[in-house]
């Protein structure tokens, strides 16, 4: 079965056709290449703003369950949820909308991000000067689909694993901050102790130097002190 038999595949909007020269009421968040993280997540902080001349056709906006794929390396695919719906998809991406009775978007999301598919996409884009993959590639993609039940098992496991890895990564980042703060605190303590020790050594040196200077200026007194000892 080809992907086009179980999903709608289309390219995104050519922005220049709908771009307004000033701010309008038809303002949208715009996906861009920078917003696609390598781990197949979306960076909401790097989205652009798109002012359109008129309300855009919903087919060019993201909807829950859509899969958006970069047409350029590293060909990352992301899965749209409620938080990332309603965004403009430009012609830098391919939009894939699944027929849920045949293929689950969560399963296809996992499948398109596997190393095997990424390698195949790279091979098929090698003849292109910009190394961009054409939407037709996805239309012609042959799939050996498991049952919907097995698709669900794979999809659920993948999403759960990704969530766990995300939490572990956050924990790692927090641990790094904690350990760094501890090390800096220890360093400050050592510096303060060294500063205190240096101050004591300076005082001792000053006293010894004062005795030496006094003895040099009064040799007789120094001899008498030796006799007294």
pLDDT (tens digit per residue) in 85-107: 999 999 999 999 999 999 999 99
The pLDDT of residue 229 is: 46
- As a whole number of angstroms, the distance between CA 7 and CA 69 comes to 14
Helix and strand totals (H; E) in the chain: 5, 6
Q: Are 67 and 76 in contact (CB under 8 A)?
A: no
pLDDT band, residue 218 (cuts 50/70/90): low
Query: Tens digit of pLDDT for each residue in 39-64?
Result: 999 999 999 999 999 999 999 999 99
5 CB-near residues (< 8 Å, 6+ apart): 102
Question: What was the pLDDT predicted at 200?
Answer: 57
Helical (H) or strand (E) element with 48: strand 48-51
Query: What rounded mean pLDDT belongs to the chain?
Result: 86
Q: Are 109 and 67 in contact (CB under 8 A)?
A: yes
- 211 has pLDDT over 60: no
Length of the chain: 229
pTM beyond 0.85, yes or no: no
Residues 65 and 72: beta-carbon distance below 8 Å: no
Confidence check: pLDDT of 213 > 60: no
Torsion of the alpha carbons at 101, 103, 107 and 111, rounded to the nearest 10:
180
Q: Kindly indicate the confidence band of residue 202, based on its pLDDT and cuts at 50, 70 and 90.
A: low
Task: Kindly state the tokens that stand for 30.
Answer: 């715009």
Name which residue leads in pLDDT, 63 or 217.
63
- Return the pLDDT at 28: 94
What is the model's pLDDT at position 50?
A: 94
- Assigned token pair, 187: 């360093």
CA–CA separation, 215 vs 208, rounded Å? 11
SS3 label, residue 9 = strand
Question: Percentage of the chain with pLDDT > 70?
Answer: 83
| Residue 223's pLDDT band (cuts 50, 70, 90) | very low
Read off the pLDDT band of 193 (50, 70, 90): confident
Tell me the pLDDT band of 201, cut-offs 50, 70 and 90.
low
């Amino acid at each position: 079965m080809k992907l086009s038999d179980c999903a709608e595949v289309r390219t995104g909007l050519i922005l220049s056709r709908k771009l307004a020269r000033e701010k309008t009421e038809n303002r949208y968040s715009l996906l861009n290449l920078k917003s696609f993280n390598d781990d197949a997540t979306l960076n909401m902080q790097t989205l652009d703003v798109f002012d359109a001349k008129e309300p855009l056709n919903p087919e060019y906006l993201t909807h829950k369950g859509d899969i958006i794929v970069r047409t350029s390396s590293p060909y990352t695919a992301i899965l749209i949820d409620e938080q990332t719906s309603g965004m403009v998809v430009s012609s830098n991406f391919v939009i894939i909308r699944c027929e849920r009775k045949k293929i689950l978007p969560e399963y296809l999301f996992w499948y398109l991000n596997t190393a095997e598919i990424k390698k195949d996409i790279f091979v098929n884009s090698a003849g292109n000067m910009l190394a961009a993959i054409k939407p037709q590639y996805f239309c012609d993609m042959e799939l050996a689909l498991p049952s919907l039940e097995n698709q669900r098992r794979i999809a659920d496991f993948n999403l759960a694993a990704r969530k766990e890895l995300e939490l572990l990564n956050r924990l790692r980042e927090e641990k790094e901050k904690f350990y760094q703060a501890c090390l800096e605190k220890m360093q400050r303590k050592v510096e303060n102790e060294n500063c205190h020790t240096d101050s004591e050594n300076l005082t001792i040196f000053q006293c010894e130097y004062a005795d030496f200077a006094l003895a040099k200026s009064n040799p007789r007194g120094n001899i008498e002190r030796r006799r007294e000892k």
